[in-house]
A and B are shown apart, each in its own frame.
Chain A
Amino acid sequence: MLKKALLALPVAMALGATAHAEKPPEEVLQGLIDAIDSTYLTQSEMNIMMMPDNPALWVGMDGEDLFHTPRGPNNVSMEACDFGKGPGVLEGAYVEMPRYFEDTGKVMDLETRIVHCMTEVQGFDPDDPAVTRRHGSGSDHMKIQTYIAMQSNGMEWNNPLEHPLEQAMRDAGEVLFARRAGMSDFNCYACHGETGKRVRASQLPAVDVPEEWTKAISWPAHRVGHDNVRSSQHRVRGCYYQMRQPGMLAGSDASIALISYWTDLARGQPAVLPDMKR
Chain B
Amino acid sequence: MFKKTPMAAGVAAFATLLFAGGSAVADTGNGYAVDYTAMTPHELAEYLIFEANDGGGFNLSQEMQEGGTARDRMQQDELQIACSLIDNADPDPETAAAIREAAGESIVYPEGGIQLGDWERGRELAWSGFGYRVGHNYDDHDARPVGGTCYNCHQMATDRTGGNVGPNLTGYGKTRGTSEAVLKYAYDMIYNPHVYFPCTHMPRFGASGFLDDESIADIMAYMFDPESPVNE
The answer to whether B29 and A254 have CB atoms under 8 Å apart is no
Closest to A180 in B: B80
**Residue A245, interface by CB 8 Å:** yes
The answer to whether B45 and A102 have CB atoms under 8 Å apart is no
Per-residue CB contact flags for chain B residues 57-93 toward chain A (1 = under 8 Å, else 0) read: 1111010001000100111100110011111100000
Chain A residues with CB below 8 A from B52, complex form: 252-254
CB distance from B44 to the nearest CB of A (A): 4
Stretch in B32-40, B112-120, B221-229 with 4+ CB within 8 Å of A: B32-40
In the complex the two chains form, what is the Cα distance from A105 to B37 in whole Å?
12
Chain B residues with CB below 8 A from A179, complex form: 45, 76, 80, 84
Scoring A106, A168, A186 by chain B CB atoms within 10 A of each residue's CB, the highest score goes to A168
Chain A residues with CB below 8 A from B201, complex form: 185-186, 189-191, 193
In the complex the two chains form, what is the Cα distance from A237 to B59 in whole Å?
11
Q: How large is the interface on B (under 10, 10 to 19, 20 to 34, 35 or more residues)?
A: 35 or more
**Residue A2, interface by CB 8 Å:** no
In the complex the two chains form, what is the Cα distance from A236 to B202 in whole Å?
21
Stretch in A20-28, A123-131, A170-178 with 4+ CB within 8 Å of B: A170-178
Closest to A184 in B: B203
**Contacts A105-B25, A178-B85, A200-B151; A254 near B48 (Cβ below 8 A):** yes
The answer to whether A165 and B136 have CB atoms under 8 Å apart is no
Q: How large is the interface on A (under 10, 10 to 19, 20 to 34, 35 or more residues)?
A: 35 or more
CB distance from A140 to the nearest CB of B (A): 20
The answer to whether A183 and B151 have CB atoms under 8 Å apart is no
**Contacts A104-B31, A237-B136, A249-B58; A189 near B41 (Cβ below 8 A):** no
A interface SS class:
mixed
**Residue B133, interface by CB 8 Å:** yes
Interface residues of A in 137-180 (CB under 8 A from B): 164-165, 167-169, 171-176, 178-180
In the complex the two chains form, what is the Cα distance from A190 to B45 in whole Å?
19
Chain B residues with CB below 8 A from A187, complex form: 84
B interface SS class:
loop
The answer to whether B132 and A252 have CB atoms under 8 Å apart is no
**Contacts A169-B36, A172-B41; A200 near B53 (Cβ below 8 A):** no
Among B39, B57, B134, point to the contact of A248 (Cβ < 8 A): B57
CB distance from B45 to the nearest CB of A (A): 4
**Residue A255, interface by CB 8 Å:** yes
The answer to whether B41 and A174 have CB atoms under 8 Å apart is yes
Stretch in B13-21, B161-169, B170-178, B179-187 with 4+ CB within 8 Å of A: B161-169
**Residue B12, interface by CB 8 Å:** no
In the complex the two chains form, what is the Cα distance from A255 to B204 in whole Å?
27
Closest to B66 in A: A183
Beyond A182-B73, A193-B88, A254-B48, 14 additional pairs, beta carbon < 8 A: A103-B25, A165-B36, A174-B41, A175-B42, A181-B75, A185-B201, A190-B165, A197-B164, A244-B132, A245-B74, A246-B62, A246-B135, A247-B135, A253-B48
The 8 A-B residue pairs with the shortest CB-CB distance in the complex, in nearest-first order: A105-B31, A254-B57, A252-B57, A105-B25, A247-B135, A246-B70, A171-B41, A175-B45
